Amino acid sequence: MNTYYLVRHGQTVWNTLGQTQGHGNSPLTELGIQQAKDLAEALKEYPIDIIYCSDLGRAVETAEIIGKELNIEIHPTESLREMGFGVWEGMPLREIEKIYPESFKMWRNEPEKVQIEGGETLDMIKQRQDKLIEELNEKYKNKHILLVSHSVTVRVMLLSFLESHVRNIYRIKQDNTALNIVEYRNYGPVIMKMNDTRHLKKDKTKGVNKSMSALE
């Protein structure tokens, strides 16, 4: 059975500005690069065999830092992309709330029902994550697989492993470069670790938990 290591990318410029990041992209900050390096060092303790990552720049940049340190080639894929936020892309929370009050209210209270113009739904994210894990489980046996992705995507994956509804998206927190470990066993997936950021150097993480997406 495979073991999965799910991680969110390092801090980005848009994270610090509170701008909505879906399929849009911004580069890692200096702190984000250091977070990725800290995570790479911590991952040396685990027998990582394979690295897959979202094909969006911030995830690729994070994965490349890790892959270089572990000497493992990375495999970018659209399947690990963040949720597409359509017309909300790049917008700060306060602007979304002002311009799209009804859909924003639904996102906060009934996130499973929201349909953002030009964007994806949480159910769409779940379907593509479930398909990816199914494909990886068919392709690999007894491998340790690192998946570098995004906040909403990782949380949806964790909810799916728990057989919990996507409406519970806000009940899981994911900081930048947080480590989650999921072991597949005969009776199904078991979450061994969640949102672990102990690898981050204390003197370098001031404000880290404030760099969340505007939509979290």
Q: Is residue 190 a contact partner of residue 182, using CB atoms and an 8 Å limit?
A: yes
Q: Please give the backbone phi and psi of residue 177, each rounded to the nearest 5 degrees, phi first.
A: 60, 20
From edge to edge, which strands make up the β-sheet containing 3-8? 74-77, 50-54, 144-149, 3-8, 179-185, 188-196
What is the C-alpha separation between 178 and 208, in angstroms, rounded?
A: 11
Backbone angles phi, psi at 78, to 5 degrees: -65, -25
Catalytic residue among 82, 89, 120, 150: 82
How many whole angstroms separate alpha carbon 196 and alpha carbon 193? 7
Q: Which residues are annotated as a binding site for substrate?
A: 8-15, 58
Q: Per-residue pLDDT tens for 84-143?
A: 999 999 999 999 999 999 999 999 999 999 999 999 999 999 999 999 999 999 999 999
What DSSP element (H or E) covers 148? Answer: strand 144-149
Domain assignments of the chain as residue spans, ordered by start: 3-82+122-196
CA–CA distance, 206 with 216 (Å, rounded to integer): 19
Q: SS3 for 181?
A: strand
pLDDT at 216 over 80: no
Question: Is residue 57 classed as helix, strand or coil in its secondary structure?
Answer: helix
Of the residues 9, 23, 89, 150, only one is catalytic, namely 9
pTM: 0.94
150 catalytic? Reply is no
Percentage of the chain beyond pLDDT 70 is 93
* Contact by Cβ (8 Å): 148, 52: yes
Please, which residues bridge with residue 64 across strands?
A: none
The enclosing H or E element of 65 equals helix 57-70
Which CATH fold topology does 3-82+122-196 show? Rossmann fold (3.40.50)
Mean pLDDT, residues 3-7? 98
Measured CA to CA, the distance from residue 89 to residue 81 in angstroms comes to: 14
What is the C-alpha separation between 186 and 50, in angstroms, rounded?
Answer: 22
User: Binding site: what residues are annotated?
Assistant: 8-15, 58
Mean pLDDT of the chain: 93
Active site residue 82: yes
Cβ–Cβ < 8 Å for 38, 179: no
- Token pair for residue 85? 């936020």
User: What tens digit of pLDDT does each residue of 38-52 get?
Assistant: 999 999 999 999 999
